Amino acid sequence: MINLMLTAILSISTISSITAAKVSQHAASRYPGCPIDYISRIGDSHCDDQYNIRECNFDGGDCLEFEARYPNCKAKYKHWIGDTKCNSGEYNTPECGYDGGDCVEFNLHYPNCKVQYPYIVGDNSCFGKEYNTPECGYDGGDCVEFNKNYPGCNVERPYLIGDGKCQDSPEYNSFECGEFLSCAYCYYKIRLLTLP
Ligand SMILES: [Ca+2]
Ligand SMILES: [Ca+2]
Ligand SMILES: [Ca+2]
């Protein structure tokens, strides 16, 4: 039985390898001179800069479509546009179609939330500072529970609070962040070392 299963698995992997090899051969013959590393990226509707050359038919047409749709979009990594993750800055602009639509919902919910990585807002992991603000819906709701437990504690990495390790920073070792007593030794060490 095990032998049969192994044979079946080997056969499937052999077929997959042969299919992949055929696809690569096909791509190679279709785009001679194109340095193909990731064949699936050519013609996948996302403009990949490394294939945006004549030999690759401008990423199998992806980059021609991109240029036609967003002629004034100067974002660095074009394949980030329309990848479902909202990217900030030069991506979230009218010229780039608000990151190819990725940021439309984000902008609607959090028009005044200016963070570097909008796609971590609402990813179920609480990130502090400028993310944990009313403008950003307290990290899209991720920090609501944390704020209940530690009101007034707005550190950059809330997930370090209560992880059993003492952070060498008075900001974390504070009453507000609940680490003061458990980190008493650490706290005093910091204070003693920083005394004038
Ligand atoms: Ca592509
Ligand atoms: Ca994106
Ligand atoms: Ca988050």
The pLDDT mean for the chain works out to: 83
- Ligand 2: centre distance to CA 80 (Å): 4
Q: Which residues contact 51 (CB under 8 A, 6 or more apart)?
A: 34, 36, 41, 42, 58, 59, 60, 62, 63
User: Which residues surround the ion ligand 2 when the cut-off is CB under 5 Å?
Assistant: 80, 83, 85, 87, 99, 102
- Ligand 2: centre distance to CA 54 (Å): 25
- The pLDDT score that the predictor gives to residue 82 is 94
Q: How far apart are the first and last CA of the chain?
A: 75
Q: Which amino acid is at 34?
A: C
- The pLDDT score that the predictor gives to residue 75 is 94
Q: Is 91 exposed, middle or buried (0-12, 13-18, 19+ CB in 10 A)?
A: buried
Between 82 and 15, name the one with better pLDDT: 82
CB 86 within 8 A of CB 59: no
Instruction: Return the biggest CA–CA distance within the chain.
Output: 75
Reduced to 3 states (helix: H, G, I; strand: E, B; else coil), residue 186 is helix
- Ligand 1: centre distance to CA 47 (Å): 4
pLDDT at 90 > cutoff 90: yes
- Ligand 1: centre distance to CA 42 (Å): 4
User: Which residues surround the ion ligand 1 when the cut-off is CB under 5 Å?
Assistant: 41, 44, 46, 48, 59, 62
As a whole-number percent, the residues of the chain with pLDDT over 70 amount to 76
pLDDT at 61 > cutoff 80: yes
Task: Compute and round to an integer the Cα radius of gyration of the chain.
Answer: 25
How far, in Å, CA of 102 to CA of 97, rounded? 9
Q: What is the DSSP letter of 87?
A: P
pLDDT at 195 > cutoff 80: no
Q: Which amino acid is at 93?
A: T
CB 115 within 8 A of CB 131: yes
- Ligand 1: centre distance to CA 60 (Å): 7
Pick the ligand that lies closest to the CA of residue 142.
3
Q: Scan for tokens 């993750």, then name that residue.
A: 85
- Write out the H or E segment, with its range, that includes residue 122: none
Write the pLDDT tens digit of every residue in 128-169: 999 999 999 999 999 999 999 999 998 999 988 887 777 778
- Ligand 2: centre distance to CA 86 (Å): 5
